[in-house]
Amino acid sequence: MNVSHLPQVCRLLESAYKKTAAPIVDLIQTQGASPFHILVATLLSARTKDQTTAGAIARLFKVVKTPADLSKIPVAQLEKLIFPVGFFRVKARHLKQIPDVLDREFQGRIPDAIDDLCRLPGVGRKTANLVVALAFDKPGICVDVHVHRISNRLGLVRTDSPLKTEMALRALLPRCYWKRWNRLLVAYGQTTCTPVRPHCSDCCLGFCCARCGVVAAR
C-alpha cells in the first residue's frame, strides 16, 4: 500500500466499520462525554476488552463525575470499581494521582496537548493522541497494537514499535486521515485483520496489502 491508496482504503474501511460495534471510547465520545471522562475511559481501556471496560466505566462514573471526586475515593475502592480491567491496581493508583497533577500543573483542567497529557500518571502517547483527537477534535494518531500491526501488514510503514509507527504515519498521512486511522484500524483489527490467522479471504484491502500479496503468491 502507498499513500495514493488512502482514499479508497478509508472508504472501504468506513463501510466495514459500519457493520461492527464501535470501540468503547468512540462510543463514549459520541455521547458528548467531557475530556475528563474520555481520558479516564481511555486509561481503563488499555489492554482490556471493550465489554470489560464498559462495565468498569459504568460503575466508576456512577460515583466519579469530576477529577475532584477521584481525590475523595480510597485506592482500594477504586480498585473494586474498575476490576477486572487489565492492571486494575496500577490504573487505580494512577487515577488517584491524576487530580493532584491536574491541580498542580494545569489549573485543574485536562490539557489538550500531547506532551502535556503525557505528564499525567499512566498516560503514554497512545492515550494522549486518542484524548487529543476525541476530546478536543485535534489531529492525533493513536497507535495501538492494531494500528501498528495493520499499518505494517499493508506495507504502508516498516517499523518495529508503535512509537516508530506513529512517527512514520505522522510523516506519511495527510492530517485529514489522522483521527480516522485509529478508529478504522482498531475495528478492522478486532474483526478481520486479527493478530493470529487474519481473515485474508474476507479482507477488502487485498488489492493493496503487502501481506495478502505474499499469501496469494504462495
- Other beta carbons within 10 angstroms of residue 90's beta carbon come to 12
Tell me if the pTM is above 0.75.
Answer: yes
CB burial readout 16-34, b (16+ within 10 A) else e: bbeeeebbbbbebbeeebe
- φ and ψ of 155, to 5 deg: 85, 10
Beta-carbon contacts of 209 under 8 Å, excluding residues fewer than 6 positions away, are: 1, 153, 154, 155, 200, 203
CB 196, CB 204: distance < 8 Å: no
What domains does the chain contain, in order, with CATH numbers?
Answer: 3-21+141-217 (1.10.1670.10), 33-136 (1.10.340.30)
Whether omega before 84 lies within 30 degrees of 0, making that bond cis, reads yes
- How far apart (Å, rounded) are the C-alpha atoms in residues 116 and 13? 32
> Tell me: the pLDDT tens digits for 136-192?
999 999 999 999 999 999 999 999 999 999 999 999 999 999 999 999 999 999 999
